[in-house]
Amino acid sequence: MNVYDVIKAVNAEVVANRAIANVDGSRVVVARVIGDELVLTAEGEEMAKSIKPAPKPKAKATKSKTAKAAAAPKSST
């Protein structure tokens, strides 16, 4: 899980080069900007260990137009 996934998962806000999350009523810095990238703090790494990654959605198989036309009932007139 990268730093951006952790920020999104804990609903943190990026303010003044820090990603801050509200945890049980207290503000916790989960990441800081160092150089040109965000880096997790010790608290952020602990949170990342406890967060389960979201399951990836399964793709549905779609039928082609010809298969749909073949499967459609024919009307008898």
71 close to 62: Cβ distance less than 8 angstroms: no
In this prediction, residue 70 carries a pLDDT of: 64
Write out the chain's pLDDT in tens, 77 residues.
789 999 999 999 999 999 999 989 999 999 999 999 999 999 999 988 988 766 677 777 676 666 666 666 766 66
What element of type H or E holds 39?
A: strand 37-40
Residue 43 CA to residue 56 CA, distance in Å, equals 26
Instruction: Give the CA radius of gyration of the chain.
Output: 23
Q: Give the tokens for residue 1.
A: 């899980």
Strand partners, 37: 34
Q: Give the tokens for residue 70.
A: 């073949």
- Amino acid at the residue 13: E
